[in-house]
Copies of this chain bind each other. A is one copy, B any other.
Amino acid sequence: MELLFATSNRGKAKEAAEIFKKYGITVKRFQFEHNEIRSESLDEIAAEAVSAAYAECQTPVFVEDSGLFIHALSGFPGPYSAWVQKKLGNEGVLRLMKGVADRSARFEASIAFHDGKSVRTFHGACTGTIADSARGTGGFGYDPIFVPEGQKQTFGERIELKNNLSHRYKAILEFSTALASMR
């Protein structure tokens, strides 16, 4: 089975392709530049984006939107995670978190799939904490400052962990399971 993934983020596409492979699904990237809507809901952002993607490619397609929600920062950077990463980097987030006791955070992912008729969304979350400093070079984005629950190392230090317990992995798992039942 082949699936079209609309994204302009190569890191995300690569990661998704590796996970989908386990389920016998080949992912093809559909180069898609889109002005996402502003919303606090990843579901809403992904659902709007996949409708725009489908209008372009006219074939079943999915998008994925994800974000890092830091509890002590009222959910910042949340839906603007990619933009904040570009502007402030991990160094900026560490500054905001300096001396903050509550370091809990949550990665969330929403996948929206347009099957040609309607849109369905699938979800994944991964709880953890913000590290005191950036560690490791694996993954991308916030991976070097995120320690998943029950672990000591960041995703950046142990990238092999990520594909087995990340928000993205869980959303893809939910999506693949649904796909299997549709076939």
Which residues of chain A have a CB within 8 Å of any CB of chain B? 35-39, 73-76, 78, 80, 83-84, 86-88, 92, 95-96, 98
Chain A contact surface mostly: mixed
Chain B residue contacts of A87, Cβ below 8 A: 73-76, 78
- Taking a contact as CB atoms under 8 Å apart, the answer to whether B96 and A88 are in contact is yes
A174 CB, nearest partner CB in chain B, Å: 26
Can you report 11 A-B residue pairs in the complex whose CB atoms are below 8 A from each other?
A: A35-B38, A35-B39, A37-B37, A73-B92, A74-B86, A74-B87, A76-B92, A92-B96, A95-B96, A95-B98, A96-B96
- Considering only CB atoms, which chain B residue lies closest to A93 in the complex? B96
Residue of B nearest to A97 (CB): B95
Residues of B contacting A39 in the complex (Cβ-Cβ under 8 angstroms): 35
Give Cα A87 to B76, complex, Å: 6
CA distance A86 to B80 in the complex (A): 13
Q: What is the minimal beta-carbon distance from A66 to any residue of chain B, in angstroms?
A: 16
Residues of B within 8 A of A86 (CB): 74
Residues of B with C-beta under 8 A to A88: 73-74, 76, 96
CA–CA, A75 to B7, complex, Å?
A: 25
Complex: how many Å from CA A156 to CA B21?
Answer: 56
Residue numbers in B under 8 Å from A92 (CB-CB):
73, 76, 96
What separation, in Å, do the CA atoms of A88 and B96 have in the docked complex?
Answer: 9
A-B contact sample (16 more), CB < 8 A, given A74-B86, A95-B96: A35-B37, A35-B38, A35-B39, A36-B38, A38-B83, A73-B92, A75-B87, A76-B88, A76-B92, A80-B80, A80-B83, A88-B96, A92-B96, A95-B95, A95-B98, A96-B96
Give bound CA distance, A96 to B92, whole Å: 6
A35 to B39, CA, bound (A): 7
